[in-house]
Structure 1
Amino acid sequence: MTIEYNTLEVEIDLSAIRHNYRILCEKGTKVYGVIKADAYGHGLIEVADALSKEGADTFAVGTVNEAVELRKSGRGERIIALLGLLNETDCFNAVKYNVIPFIGEFEQLEMLSSVVSAQGQKIEISLKFDTGMSRLGFSVDELDQLIDWLKANPQISPVLTSSHLATSDDPAYEDYVGAQADQFSHILKELESAGFELEASLANSAGILVHDKVRLMAQRAGIALYGANPLSGTKWNEIGGRLIPAMQVSTKIASVHTLKKGRSISYGCTYTAEKDMTVAIVCAGYADGYSRSLSNTGQVCINGKRAKIVGRVCMQLTAVDVTDIPDVSFGGRAYLLGGEGEGKISPDDLAGWWETITYEVFCLLGQNPKTFK
């Protein structure tokens, strides 16, 4: 028996995601929908369906298992697994379900070749190169060895290639973006000279919006799909200003009561009332993915107004100051993300109080049950 303990309600506006995809397609010639990690918490299958209606023909997920889930849902588009192959089961499933894995290690190539050769089959792959992220991918120094390996193993057929930008959202690092683009261009020319003409992608969300030089044959749209502006806080902020957040998160109010002057609230007595005040106890806490680091810093939206968190965020409860907000009552609704009026909470607002990035906000809160519109 599964016990449902979540009290948060996560609403996903699929029309906002479709809107954001159209904006990104204004800049890019072919835009992949990056829907890894349950579409950044927005719903893998539902987001894929929405993007398919906008003409997306390539989806990038995280693991091969996620690719299999997407394929089993009935999606016939091209599916890329960004984390590549981690074991032989991944290799079998990539072949069986027609998944294109990212490959950035010779060990992955050897493992895949062994599985594919034993089955007497072939498989398409995407080559991954490290041009400055220093995370995953073949180095430029391995290029000659890689070309030799691919020519000797025709059962492994590269059709795509990519690299990942490290600083495309930061105006202070435009030169670093340029250096990565130059190195990737060199890699593409070497591959082409060796007979491998591949569909290449380098641009992520910020790259699509800002950097002409990195928009190649294809682009990978991630965080911007979900309405978070990757350029927020920079001189490029307005470029992402048309994006619409797709996630809204709310919960119920469990109690409204008076907190007398001098009384403390929640664990550790980290907040003491300086005057008589009214507090609301909302049903949200770190068990729901609502971080304890929001204690005494975060805010929620109630009746269109901002209410500041007072005291420590608990496992499933959080106290907020509603002294100056009228008509707050038991059973009412508090918005952790979204809401209405001047008190609306943006993804950047919440990430800032949380001292994190919008990606983490979406992924953690998106693990709660979702509804779609």
Structure 2
Amino acid sequence: MASGGPDACSNEDPNMSVPFNKLIARIDLDAIRENYLLLREVAGNPAPVIKADAYGHGLLPVARTLAQAGAGSMCVGSVEEAVALRGEFSGRIVSLLGPLDKADAAAVVEHGLVPYIYRREQLAMLAEAARNAGGQARLALKFDTGMGRLGFRLPDVPDLVATLAANRELRLELVASHLATADEPARDDYVVRQRGVFEAVCSELRAAGLDFACTLGNSAGLLAYPELRYDLQRPGIALYGVNPFCGTPLAHLGERLRPAMSVRTPVAQVHSLDAGESVSYGCTFVAPKAMRVAVIAAGYADCYSRALGGKAEVVIRGRRAKVCGRVCMQLSIVDVSDIPGAEAGDDAWLLGGEGDDPVTPDELAGWWGTITYEVFCLLGLNKREYVDGL
């Protein structure tokens, strides 16, 4: 990580999944640190979710930043990702996918991980791995309280209690579930329903003499539902500066969050168009009048979606420029008629940008027809540079 003063930069992990292009995803570690501290101020014990390479922001640089800020627990996706993190972080590492085979189970025991367990076969694998290693296996029981995805159900509790009692090498540490509608204020009835199921599960487990911490709240749950914070919270998208309540009556709850990713690429050429001339494949855009357009080095091969053609805007020299016509494999064309002096070599910001009108993650996701999570995960596959004021 870079050091030595404000706005220090480092190309710490340039070898991303999209090689041989000019896009740079700029990751502001200061913003991630500030967002984490804000969430901790609200909830007390957030375990940052840094799965999927920290939502495209970079697993290890983000983890180091969060550890320095005081995070004692972190959540990743696969066991493999958890093992990669263990070399950098000595605290609790929760694997949200849990062990999917015997190799995963052995790694859980070897590295002291806390995996989500949501089917009986995983318990058997984990117990066998612990016995083979002559040690204990930490675990989190995952319950489906209404997401309809992974998890045990309330009627499974007696069998789980018996299994844990019969396998003393299994050490229950967490009981977890996941909220389906916490970011939709109009669906708070479903949140209440999930809470009721979750608390019934926890009550039955405790009545059987088990001791554990509870975790249910995601970013939206942490911000809007104090009663769902329990022992541990799992903020994800808010950590990276997206307000989960953007555009809703609860938007004020996340208004202090600051986006951490911005993405730029160079302008390759600027040229004029006469009225009636077209650009890009299919001639879907025809100039209504004399124009100047810039060709920028970004396309769908760079994870800048073809769906953005004719919809998205970029920022050049602090001003907006709309994408004209179809997005190509490695090029797009934008209208710079109202940007005096725009020229080859300028930065075109696909996300974020200079000046008072940056492209926001929610805007880009809206033009794209997706959600901010996908925007980050895809654009984060490009080369990254890190900014850290520490």
Share of identical aligned residues, percent?
49
**Alpha-carbon deviations, 1:27-74, whole Å to 9, x = none?**
2121101100111011111111111111100010000110111112x3
The separation in 1 between residues aligned to 2:166 and 2:379, in whole angstroms, is 47
2:56 equivalent among 14, 19, 41: 41
Quick one: which amino acid aligns to residue 50 of structure 2? I
Quick one: which amino acid aligns to residue 77 of structure 2? G
How far is 1:23 from its partner?
A: 1.0
1:55 counterpart residue number:
70
**Alpha-carbon deviations, 1:82-118, whole Å to 9, x = none?**
0111111111111111111100111211222223223
The separation in 2 between residues aligned to 1:6 and 1:126, in whole angstroms, is 41
1:283 equivalent among 294, 297, 301: 297
CA RMSD between the two structures = 1.2
2:176 equivalent among 153, 162, 166: 162
Tell me whether 144-153 or 289-298 shows the greater mean CA deviation: 144-153
Unaligned runs of 5+ in 2: 1-14
1:324 counterpart residue number:
338
Question: Does 2:66 match 1:66?
Answer: no
Quick one: which amino acid aligns to residue 5 of structure 1? F
1:24 counterpart residue number:
39
Quick one: which amino acid aligns to residue 48 of structure 1? A
2:285 equivalent among 271, 287, 291: 271
Quick one: which amino acid aligns to residue 86 of structure 2? R
**Alpha-carbon deviations, 1:309-348, whole Å to 9, x = none?**
0011111100000111111001111000011224310111
Quick one: which amino acid aligns to residue 76 of structure 2? V
Question: Does 2:358 match 1:344?
Answer: yes
1:8 counterpart residue number:
23
**Alpha-carbon deviations, 1:249-301, whole Å to 9, x = none?**
00000010012211111111111111111110011111111111101111101
TM-score (norm 1): 0.97
Question: Does 2:288 match 1:239?
Answer: no
Contact 2:309 2:325 in 1 (8 A): yes
Contact 2:19 2:383 in 1 (8 A): no
Unaligned runs of 5+ in 1: none
**Alpha-carbon deviations, 1:168-187, whole Å to 9, x = none?**
00011111101111111111
Quick one: which amino acid aligns to residue 361 of structure 1? V
Contact 1:178 1:213 in 2 (8 A): no
Question: SS at 2:48's partner residue?
Answer: strand
Contact 1:282 1:319 in 2 (8 A): yes
Question: SS at 1:341's partner residue?
Answer: coil
1:136 counterpart residue number:
150
Question: SS at 1:26's partner residue?
Answer: helix
Question: SS at 1:154's partner residue?
Answer: coil
The separation in 1 between residues aligned to 2:43 and 2:357, in whole angstroms, is 35
The one of the two structures with greater contact order (alpha-carbon pairs below 8 A, sep at least 6) is: 2
Contact 2:144 2:150 in 1 (8 A): yes
Question: Does 2:112 match 1:98?
Answer: yes
1:83 counterpart residue number:
97
Contact 1:280 1:321 in 2 (8 A): yes
How far is 1:148 from its partner?
A: 1.2
Question: Does 2:265 match 1:251?
Answer: yes
The separation in 1 between residues aligned to 2:64 and 2:141, in whole angstroms, is 27
The separation in 1 between residues aligned to 2:133 and 2:65, in whole angstroms, is 36
**Alpha-carbon deviations, 1:180-219, whole Å to 9, x = none?**
1111111111111111121111000000110122110110
TM-score (norm 2): 0.93
Contact 1:129 1:163 in 2 (8 A): yes
How far is 1:4 from its partner?
A: 3.5
Question: SS at 1:255's partner residue?
Answer: strand
2:3 counterpart residue number:
none
